[in-house]
């Protein structure tokens, strides 16, 4: 892509100034009406300190909260060690602990032995998920067969999750693998349930710091019942009957979208998109649901009460935050909806980036950003530093790893997924605003 | 606990608060399942992979960046772990293996990745870390490095292309734990860089092992008091604990880290001290064989005797006396131990973590008059059981020794034999909650409390710090409310 492009007589830079020359096409500036979206879903350039992770990371991230299920990591011990902590929560993980012997002679036998052991000794569980990591993926263990044999021998359901780290360009591949596992092995196993008139699933909601509780109670006040939230709160039972609902609400497109579309195709469950982040977005989502279920009045009442409960404080935050300049570096596909939350508080978004967002996500973000804003894909550490030096942002939002780099350069940082409390709904939005203000106002930044 | 205490004839045993009733959902486990030797499955592992140790080492070099030949998660997870422990950035590059690399090999990824890294970051030294995937597909790293060097020279010119040092550390993660990874890195660095100039530099080499910045500062303090100059290999003290002073130069590197020239000079030192037998011992032995530099391998100077031993050996090698200032530090620790003995004597403790730090701590708790009940090393080593047996036999204790087990077995063991304090890393939080016993944090993976890495555990001053933590934890948990008012 050329660095400069002539548009209607005047020269407008199209290249994002802090982006690496070799990765120029991974970023665009919104200068023209026709969207030019950043290149995405590509292989990572090696050696540039990308923030992306692997398919196993993605699958683990997606499937970790699944209850009544043994999570067995088939691979060297470390993959299990790291996979214990997901979204700041700790889970019990089992490992086959592959050693040199298995790498040479094959790990299938050990896997089979472990599966039988687990089935015999944890009879209370409903299934075993076998995560396949790089090592068994490359030596070619037939995990499918081991699972089948263990299933025949014990009666315990054994489900392989084929997620060796080198699959796909980023952790998004793992999310998709996880979603496929749920679709193929868990969703729709129990047809005996008659769906309640106001039953819904929320797809792509991860219950970070109690978000789900907020959403659940908001919907309950409208009169809507959440059966499962994939994968914030799921069990084998709730998934088995997940197709017996009236509607699916897609919260995060990248992970929820696939399940929603498949469930529509297989079981005819319709879906709508909705976000509970930000006042306007929450209002819209509640209205849309009220419309769908013919609960308009209840929805309007919840909206009115919600807005009234936070409006005064929000005004105060808005006054203090207006005009502050922010750089956003998110993981995935909620950039579009998250962006709106920042704009709602009057913050000026300088750049919206994601590690593994897709075309649709950038499309959504493009519509929401002001001219001059940069959209970037897979920002690496060097580019982040260059961004800070060129743009001098007031605050940055992003993942845990970027936080300390930003701090070293004296820039306040808020972490996503958040570490303090729920950000969803009306009261959550207050938390969100308070967190930004808190990092901005910290006296320490004035002493540097 | 509103039980009447009989007026006569009560023993402390009867007074002891019973810790055992567990959460209501607790179901007793199948007995045969508990020993890790009886099962193939591993639950709650207490060790991680070899590349972790090599990356830790690589970050300890000045302007050093590890380059991981593997999938992206191999780097992301490790960076997360460093970030969580130290709250500092950790720059680690990755070859970004995708499907094609797994099938056709990682040659292209390595060459171009290394070039990208050098062009952008201009590092002094790159630690090339292999992973399970690259080792299994059989990437010939030695020839890859040669090719990458050619490419660098072609693009950057003779001088610049040859400037960056490339150190290969082979770390297939299925062959050992992070402890072995650090060990191998120490050897690889010395093999690749150390040179013999046949002139003594009158310095000593220190290979600290995976200690915290506070520990390394304590080593430097002790050396300074002794008046000894030293080369510290993988000095992470100013890498993982850096000041907030926005730098004016790009790219950002922390100020600290061992200089390449210092590692080169390590072949001319008086002696090598590998503080941890299993983390750096290989490096010390290599220098001993190659350059005939005496190697002192272990033990980690935690507590009184092991710190004495360390200082004695330093004194013996350099001919310098242990100065009064350090003797006073020792005296202050002894005074502190005497003043707090009624809180520590005969208290039961359990220790887990990496082998060397566990050995050191076990010795120290014995010196405090505590009784180690269960001692576990997450990584199996050849000498761990003997080392512990030697220590405890001196004090007449008979703990359960687990060499290379998982936390599941450790937890089940503690349910059978109650303890008053658990010493270990943050992975023990669940056990501590389940048993209602305080966890005193020590070791490498402490990520749920702030500031731990800033304070030492080794040396006399580290001993004081650790003893204070230990006693305060016992006080917080072990005494009825009324007795916390005065000591």
Closest Cα of chain A to B256: distance in Å?
14
Measured CA to CA, the distance from residue A16 to residue B263 in angstroms comes to 41
Give one word for A38, left, alpha or beta, with left for phi > 0 and alpha for psi -120 to 50.
beta
* pLDDT over 70 at B437, yes or no: yes
**Pairing between strand A89-90 and A85-86?**
antiparallel
**Can you spell out the DSSP letters for B444-455?**
S---SSSSGGGS
Measured CA to CA, the distance from residue A421 to residue B188 in angstroms comes to 46
Asked if B96 lies within 8 A of A78 by C-beta distance, the reply is no
- Mutation pick from B40, B91, B113 vs chain A, by most beta carbons of A within 10 Å, is B40
Measured CA to CA, the distance from residue B65 to residue B13 in angstroms comes to 55
Torsion of CA A170, A174, A175, A176, to 10 degrees: 100
pLDDT at B19: 45
pLDDT at B83: 92
CB-CB neighbors (< 8 A) of B70 in chain A: 134, 165
Asked if B77 lies within 8 A of A53 by C-beta distance, the reply is yes
pLDDT at B1: 44
* pLDDT over 80 at B3, yes or no: no
Mean pLDDT to the nearest integer, A275-279: 92
Condensed to tens digits (0 to 9), the pLDDT of residues A307-362 reads 999 999 999 999 999 999 999 998 876 787 888 889 999 999 999 999 888 888 88
CB-CB neighbors (< 8 A) of B93 in chain A: 46-49
Check if the beta carbon of residue B355 is closer than 8 Å to that of residue B405: no
Q: Which residue has the higher pLDDT, A333 or A404?
A: A404
Number of Cβ within a 10 Å radius of residue A305: 11
CB-CB neighbors (< 8 A) of A446 in chain B: none
Q: In terms of CA atoms, which chain A residue is nearest residue B95?
A: A46
Q: How far apart, in Å, are the Cα atoms of B191 and each of B13, B263, B393?
A: 56, 10, 39
pLDDT > 90 fraction of chain A, expressed in percent and rounded: 67
- Mutation pick from B50, B98, B241 vs chain A, by most beta carbons of A within 10 Å, is B98
φ and ψ of B284, to 5 deg? -65, -45
Mean pLDDT to the nearest integer, B315-334: 96
Residue entry with tokens 């505590």: B370
Check if the beta carbon of residue A123 is closer than 8 Å to that of residue A137: no
- Name the residue among A81, A167, A382 with its Cβ closest to that of B120: A382
> Helices (DSSP H) in B194-302: which residue ranges?
213-226, 260-265, 281-291
- Name the residue among B83, B89, B133 with its Cβ closest to that of A138: B133
Asked if A405 lies within 8 A of B102 by C-beta distance, the reply is no
| Mean pLDDT over the full length of chain B | 90
Mean pLDDT to the nearest integer, A25-51: 86
Asked if B40 lies within 8 A of A99 by C-beta distance, the reply is no
Q: How far apart, in Å, are the Cα atoms of B325 and each of A405, B227, B331, B332, B401?
A: 39, 12, 10, 11, 37
- Name the residue among B71, B178, B429 with its Cβ closest to that of A54: B71
H/E stretch holding B168 reads strand B165-169
Average the pLDDT over each of A133-142, A145-154, A230-239, B474-483 and give the range with the smallest value: B474-483
Condensed to tens digits (0 to 9), the pLDDT of residues B376-403 reads 999 999 999 999 999 999 999 999 999 9
- Please count the residues of chain A: 448
Closest CA to A388 of B170, B81, B251: B251
Asked if B89 lies within 8 A of A118 by C-beta distance, the reply is no
Asked if B251 lies within 8 A of A139 by C-beta distance, the reply is no
CB-CB neighbors (< 8 A) of A44 in chain B: 72, 94, 96, 98
- Name the residue among B33, B83, B96 with its Cβ closest to that of A46: B96
Asked if A47 lies within 8 A of B113 by C-beta distance, the reply is yes
CB-CB neighbors (< 8 A) of A48 in chain B: 93, 113, 116-117, 120
- Name the residue among B39, B98, B132 with its Cβ closest to that of A135: B132
- Mutation pick from A23, A44, A51, A78 vs chain B, by most beta carbons of B within 10 Å, is A78
In chain B, how many H helices and how many E strands? Answer: 20, 14
Condensed to tens digits (0 to 9), the pLDDT of residues B36-85 reads 888 888 888 899 999 999 999 999 999 999 999 999 999 999 999 999 99
Mean pLDDT to the nearest integer, A96-114: 93
Structure tokens at B30: 């199948």
Average the pLDDT over each of A262-276, A415-429, B149-163 and give the range with the smallest value: A415-429
Structure tokens at A425: 């709904």
pLDDT at B10: 55
CB within 8 Å of B25: residues ≥ 6 apart: none
Condensed to tens digits (0 to 9), the pLDDT of residues B106-133 reads 999 999 999 999 999 999 999 999 999 9
CB-CB neighbors (< 8 A) of A54 in chain B: 71-74, 76
Measured CA to CA, the distance from residue B301 to residue B276 in angstroms comes to 9
pLDDT at B44: 86
Measured CA to CA, the distance from residue A59 to residue A175 in angstroms comes to 5
Asked if B88 lies within 8 A of A137 by C-beta distance, the reply is no
Q: In terms of CA atoms, which chain B residue is nearest residue A133?
A: B133
pLDDT at A4: 39
pLDDT band at B2 (very low <50, low <70, confident <90, very high): very low
Check if the beta carbon of residue A71 is closer than 8 Å to that of residue A91: yes
The answer to whether B138 faces chain A, any CB pair under 8 Å, is no
Structure tokens at B388: 């512990």
- Buried b / exposed e over A412-438, threshold 16 CB at 10 Å, is bbbbbbbeebbbbbbbbbbbbbebbbe
Condensed to tens digits (0 to 9), the pLDDT of residues B398-429 reads 999 999 999 999 998 998 888 999 999 999 99
**Can you spell out the DSSP letters for B355-391?**
HHHHHHHHHHHHHTT-EEEEEEESS--SSHHHHHHHH
Closest Cα of chain A to B69: distance in Å?
10
Structure tokens at B171: 């770390």
Structure tokens at A259: 């399940």
Beta strands in A142-205 (DSSP E): 157-162, 199-205
Measured CA to CA, the distance from residue A321 to residue B370 in angstroms comes to 55
- Name the residue among A114, A381, A389 with its Cβ closest to that of B41: A114
- Name the residue among B80, B88, B133 with its Cβ closest to that of A134: B133
pLDDT at A421: 86
CB-CB neighbors (< 8 A) of B51 in chain A: 78
Measured CA to CA, the distance from residue B485 to residue B487 in angstroms comes to 7
The answer to whether B246 faces chain A, any CB pair under 8 Å, is yes
Check if the beta carbon of residue B178 is closer than 8 Å to that of residue B47: yes
Full-model pTM: 0.93
CB-CB neighbors (< 8 A) of A170 in chain B: 72
pLDDT at B155: 94
pLDDT at B33: 74
CB-CB neighbors (< 8 A) of B84 in chain A: 400
Measured CA to CA, the distance from residue B467 to residue B302 in angstroms comes to 11
- Cα end-to-end span (Å), chain B: 23
pLDDT at B14: 54
* pLDDT over 60 at A432, yes or no: yes
* pLDDT over 60 at B441, yes or no: yes
* pLDDT over 80 at B304, yes or no: yes
CB within 8 Å of B118: residues ≥ 6 apart: B126, B152, B156, B164
Number of Cβ within a 10 Å radius of residue A337: 23
SS3 of A85, please?
strand
Asked if A54 lies within 8 A of B42 by C-beta distance, the reply is no
Closest Cα of chain A to B336: distance in Å?
36
pLDDT band at B4 (very low <50, low <70, confident <90, very high): low
Q: In terms of CA atoms, which chain B residue is nearest residue A94?
A: B43
Asked whether the bond before A89 is cis by omega within 30 degrees of 0, the reply is: no
- Name the residue among B43, B112, B117 with its Cβ closest to that of A92: B43
Mean pLDDT to the nearest integer, A369-389: 90
Q: In terms of CA atoms, which chain A residue is nearest residue B426?
A: A90
Residues 383-442 of B with CB under 8 A from A: 429-430
SS3 of A90, please?
strand
Condensed to tens digits (0 to 9), the pLDDT of residues B9-48 reads 555 555 544 444 455 655 566 677 788 888 888 888 899 9
Measured CA to CA, the distance from residue A70 to residue A194 in angstroms comes to 29
CB within 8 Å of A234: residues ≥ 6 apart: A65, A66, A67, A182, A228
Asked if B49 lies within 8 A of A54 by C-beta distance, the reply is no
**Can you spell out the DSSP letters for B432-487?**
HHHHT--EEE-SS---SSSSGGGS--SHHHHHHHHHHHHHHHHHHHHS-GGGGS--
pLDDT band at A399 (very low <50, low <70, confident <90, very high): confident
- Name the residue among A77, A103, A408 with its Cβ closest to that of B252: A408
The answer to whether B286 faces chain A, any CB pair under 8 Å, is no
Closest Cα of chain B to A126: distance in Å?
17
The answer to whether B449 faces chain A, any CB pair under 8 Å, is no
* pLDDT over 70 at B482, yes or no: no
Measured CA to CA, the distance from residue A85 to residue A57 in angstroms comes to 11
Q: How far apart, in Å, are the Cα atoms of B215 and each of A65, A123, B355, B462?
A: 38, 46, 17, 8
- Name the residue among B43, B52, B83 with its Cβ closest to that of A400: B83
Distance of alpha carbon A49 from its chain centroid, rounded? 21
**Can you spell out the DSSP letters for A111-158?**
HHHHHHHHHHH-TT-SEEEEEE-HHHHHHT--HHHHHHHHHHHH--EE
pLDDT at B24: 60
* pLDDT over 60 at A114, yes or no: yes
CB-CB neighbors (< 8 A) of A90 in chain B: 429-430
* pLDDT over 90 at B233, yes or no: yes
Asked if B73 lies within 8 A of A81 by C-beta distance, the reply is no
Measured CA to CA, the distance from residue A326 to residue A5 in angstroms comes to 27
Measured CA to CA, the distance from residue A207 to residue A230 in angstroms comes to 9
Q: In terms of CA atoms, which chain A residue is nearest residue B68?
A: A47
CA-only gyration radius of chain B, Å:
24
- Buried b / exposed e over A100-130, threshold 16 CB at 10 Å, is eebbeeebbebbbbbbbbbbeebeebbbbbb
């Amino acid at each position: 892509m050329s660095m400069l492009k002539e548009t209607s007589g005047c020269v407008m830079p199209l290249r994002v100034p802090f982006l690496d020359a070799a990765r120029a096409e991974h970023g665009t500036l919104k200068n023209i009406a026709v969207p030019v979206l950043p290149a995405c879903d590509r292989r990572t350039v090696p050696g540039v300190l990308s923030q992306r992770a692997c398919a196993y990371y993605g699958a683990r991230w997606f499937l970790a909260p699944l209850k009544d299920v043994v999570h067995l990591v088939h691979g060297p011990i470390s993959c299990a060690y790291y996979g214990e902590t997901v979204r700041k929560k700790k889970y019990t993980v089992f490992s086959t602990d592959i050693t040199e012997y298995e790498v040479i002679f094959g790990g299938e036998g050990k896997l089979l032995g472990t599966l039988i052991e687990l089935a015999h000794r944890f009879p209370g569980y409903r299934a075993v998920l076998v995560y396949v990591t790089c090592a068994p993926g490359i030596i070619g263990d037939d995990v499918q067969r081991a699972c089948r044999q263990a299933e025949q021998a014990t009666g315990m359901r054994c489900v392989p999750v084929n997620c060796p780290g080198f699959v796909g360009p980023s952790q998004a591949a793992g999310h998709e693998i996880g979603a496929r596992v749920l679709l193929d092995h868990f969703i729709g196993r129990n047809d005996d349930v008659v769906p309640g008139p106001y039953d819904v699933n929320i797809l792509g909601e991860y219950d970070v710091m109690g978000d789900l509780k907020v959403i659940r109670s908001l919907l309950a006040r409208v009169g809507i019942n959440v059966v499962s939230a994939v994968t914030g709160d799921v069990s084998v039972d709730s998934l088995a009957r997940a197709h017996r609902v009236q509607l699916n609400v897609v919260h995060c497109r990248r992970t929820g979208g696939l399940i929603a579309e498949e469930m529509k195709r297989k079981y005819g469950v319709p879906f709508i998109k909705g976000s509970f982040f930000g006042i306007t977005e929450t209002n819209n989502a509640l209205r849309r649901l009220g419309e769908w279920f013919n609960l308009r009045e209840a929805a309007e009442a919840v909206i009115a009460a919600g807005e009234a409960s936070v409006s005064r404080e929000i005004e105060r935050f808005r006054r203090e935050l207006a005009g502050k300049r922010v750089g956003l570096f998110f993981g995935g596909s909620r950039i579009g909806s998250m962006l709106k939350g920042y704009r709602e508080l009057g913050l000026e978004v300088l750049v919206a980036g994601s590690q593994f967002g897709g075309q649709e996500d950038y499309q959504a973000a493009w519509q929401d950003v002001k001219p001059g804003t940069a959209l970037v894909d897979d920002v690496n550490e060097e580019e982040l530093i260059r961004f800070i030096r060129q743009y001098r942002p007031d605050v940055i939002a992003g993942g845990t790893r970027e936080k300390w780099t930003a701090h070293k350069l004296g820039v306040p940082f808020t972490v996503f997924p958040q570490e303090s409390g729920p950000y969803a709904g009306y009261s959550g939005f207050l938390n969100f605003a308070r967190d930004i203000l808190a990092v901005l106002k910290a006296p320490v930044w004035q002493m540097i | 606990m509103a039980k009447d205490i009989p007026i006569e004839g009560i023993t402390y045993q009867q007074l002891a608060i019973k810790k055992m009733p567990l959460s209501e959902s607790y179901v007793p486990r199948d007995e045969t399942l508990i020993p890790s030797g009886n099962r193939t499955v591993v639950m709650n592992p207490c060790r991680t992979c070899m590349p972790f140790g090599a990356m830790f080492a690589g970050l300890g070099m000045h302007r050093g960046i590890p380059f991981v030949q593997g999938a992206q998660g191999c780097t992301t997870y490790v960076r997360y772990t460093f970030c969580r422990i130290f709250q500092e950035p950790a720059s680690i590059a990755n070859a970004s293996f995708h499907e094609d690399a797994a099938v056709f090999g990682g040659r292209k990824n390595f060459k171009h990745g290394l070039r990208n890294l050098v062009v952008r970051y201009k590092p002094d030294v790159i630690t090339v870390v292999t992973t399970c995937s690259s080792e299994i597909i059989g990437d010939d790293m030695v020839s890859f490095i040669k090719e990458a060097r050619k490419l660098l020279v072609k693009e950057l010119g003779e001088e610049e292309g040859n400037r960056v040092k490339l150190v290969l550390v082979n770390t297939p993660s299925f062959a050992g734990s992070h402890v072995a990874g650090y060990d191998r890195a120490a050897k690889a660095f010395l093999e690749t860089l150390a040179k013999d100039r046949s002139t003594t530099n009158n310095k000593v080499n220190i290979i600290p092992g995976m200690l915290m910045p506070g520990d390394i500062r304590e080593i430097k303090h002790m050396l300074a008091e002794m008046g000894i100059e030293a080369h510290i290999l993988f000095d992470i003290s100013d890498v993982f604990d850096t000041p907030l002073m926005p730098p004016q130069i790009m790219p950002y590197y922390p100020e600290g880290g061992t200089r390449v020239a210092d590692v080169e000079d390590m072949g001319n030192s008086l002696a090598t001290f590998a503080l941890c037998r299993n983390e750096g011992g290989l490096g010390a032995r290599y220098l001993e064989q190659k350059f005939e530099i005496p190697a002192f391998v272990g033990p980690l100077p935690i507590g009184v005797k092991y710190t004495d031993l360390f200082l004695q050996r330093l004194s013996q090698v350099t001919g310098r006396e242990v100065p009064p200032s350090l003797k006073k530090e020792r005296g202050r620790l002894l005074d502190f131990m005497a003043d707090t003995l009624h809180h520590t004597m005969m208290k039961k403790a359990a220790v887990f973590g990496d082998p060397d730090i566990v050995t050191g701590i076990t010795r120290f708790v014995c010196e405090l008059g505590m009784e180690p009940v269960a001692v576990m090393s997450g990584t199996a080593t050849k000498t761990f059981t003997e080392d512990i047996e030697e220590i405890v036999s001196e004090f007449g204790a008979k703990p359960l020794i687990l060499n290379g087990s998982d936390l599941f077995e450790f937890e089940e063991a503690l349910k059978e034999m109650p303890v008053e304090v658990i010493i270990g890393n943050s992975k023990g939080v669940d056990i501590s909650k389940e048993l209602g016993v305080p966890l005193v944090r020590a070791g490498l993976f402490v990520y749920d409390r702030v500031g731990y890495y800033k304070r030492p555990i080794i040396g006399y001053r580290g001993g004081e710090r650790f003893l204070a933590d230990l006693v305060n934890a016992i006080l917080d948990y072990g005494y009825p409310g009324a007795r916390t008012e005065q000591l």
